[in-house]
Amino acid sequence: MSAADAFSVNYASARIRFRQGASARGFRLEEYDIGLKSPEGESLTIDVGILGSSEAEGVVIISSGLHGVEGFFGSAVQIALLEKHLVGWNPPPKRALLFLHALNPYGFAWGRRCNEYNIDLNRNFLLPGEEYSGSPEKYALFNSFFNPTSPPSRFEPFLIKAIALILRYGIATLKNTLPVGQYDFPKGLFFGGKRPSKTYEILDANLPRWLGNAKNVLHIDFHTGLGKKATYKLYTETSVDSQRYRYLVEKFGADKVKRIDSARDAYEIRGGLGKWCEAKFPQCNYIFLTAEFGTYPILTVIEALRAENRAYFWGKVDDSVCQWARKRLIEVFAPADKNWRESVVSQGVDLVQRAISACCL
């Protein structure tokens, strides 16, 4: 099996392969139905696989699909490991490996980055005491451009308009406004929701049980769409002056590990899963890394998100332009190019193996 073969044609296929592979490797399987159906009429579930000690002191977590269509890649890495690279392997004593497959099964199945309520799940994990309200100061100013109330068009001069906005307001203003998370525009991009999502509730209820009394947790959450094509970075909120940061650099490389507020292409977000996980388990050394694998230039990604969002809210299902917008979104986050797929899955597998080694030593 080549690395590219680990990609599945759709959510339903990915789910079957994940569960079959996990069962064959001896993982304990759990499933959490979110109460919705796939285009094929099958139940949508978050699937969980656990291998190793039920009283583990060290746990490696690999999660995929928090951003729906990005699950094509994250799932492919998990499937490549299950179908090939983990054959015959078991964690050492007091260690465990936890796979979270398709954290946003609706987006994965229906070709969206967000969930059924247009919620960007990586903006939904607010900390206790934080309110699901508010937006960056200038989001309302940009709303009519990024969230127009009309179907998409293949011929709109998006790039020209976007460059004009950048020249007028500056790239830093746009980067610190559009993607960081907003809670006032339910039909807009990067909407964080008005309450905890089903995914939030499932993780909140079960993550403590899965981790038990673990002292060390290394969590890698797979994403696509940010950075140089076919390369990756590991984003963390850990201080660069800390022992933890030095540990990450030692294990994964200074060229890979980046503090999110110091990275040129990245941006700090509100309601991110990583900060929530680390805050939820203050009693253990919980390290969360967002693994971002590059696909297309950032303006191409934003254009695709904008077009698909317009198609979803303002287009007709059978309209050819709307179908084009949905297919394009999948291409932007999971390119069909075999060379890209071979490269990123191989890199993703190597990253997980490094994480296992780092946590199990």
Give the pLDDT confidence of 89-134 residue by residue, as tens digits: 999 999 999 999 999 999 999 999 999 999 999 999 999 999 999 9
Closest CA to 188 of 225, 139, 245: 139
Query: Who contacts 303 (Cβ-Cβ below 8 Å, separation ≥6)?
Result: 158, 159, 162
Q: What pLDDT does 361 receive?
A: 45
pTM over 0.95: yes
Q: What pLDDT sits at residue 268?
A: 80
Report how far residue 272's alpha carbon sits from residue 79's, in angstroms, rounded to the nearest whole number: 25
Predicted pLDDT at 266:
63
What are the structural domains of the chain? 3-125+195-295+334-360 (3.40.630.10)
Is pLDDT at 263 greater than 70 in this prediction?
A: no
For 310-354, write each residue's pLDDT tens digit: 999 999 988 999 999 999 999 999 999 999 999 999 999 999 999
CB contact at 8 A, 359 and 60: yes
Planar angle of CA 116, 301, 226, nearest 5 degrees = 100
